[in-house]
Structure 1
Amino acid sequence: MSRSILLHPNVPDAIIFRDTLSTLTVNFEVFVWPDCPSLESVEVAVIWQELNDFPAMLPNLRLLLVCGSGVDSVIESISIPRSVPVVRLVDQYIRERVSDYVVMAALNHVRRWDHYVRHQKEARWHRLTDISVKPKVGIMGLGLIGETSALKLAAMGFATCGWVRTRRSRNLTEVYVGDKELHDFARQCAIVVCVLPLTHQTRGILCQQFFERLPEGAYLINVGRGGHLIDNDLLQALDDGHLSGACLDVFESEPLSVQHPFWSNPKITVTPHIAGGLRPEWQATHAAEVIYDHMNGRTLNGVINHVTQY
Structure 2
Amino acid sequence: MRANSKRSASGEAGAGKGGRSGASLYQEITDRIIAELERGTVPWVKPWGRAKAGLGLPRNAATQRAYSGINILILWGAVIERSYPSQNWLTFRQALGLGGNVRKGERGTTIVHADRFVPKDEKERAKAAGDEPQAVPFLKRFTVFNVAQCDNLPEHLHAAAEPLPEREIVPQAEALIRRSGADFRIGGDRAFYMPGSDTIQVPPQPAFLHQIDYYRTCFHELGHWTGHPARLARDLSGSFGSKAYAREELVAEITAAFVCSSLGIEPTVRHADYIGSWLKVLREDNRAIFRAASHASKAADFLLGSDADAEGADLREIAA
Q: TM-score of the superposition, structure 1-length normalised?
A: 0.24
TM-score (norm 2): 0.23
- Relative contact order higher in (CA < 8 Å, ≥ 6 apart): 2
Greater helix proportion: 2
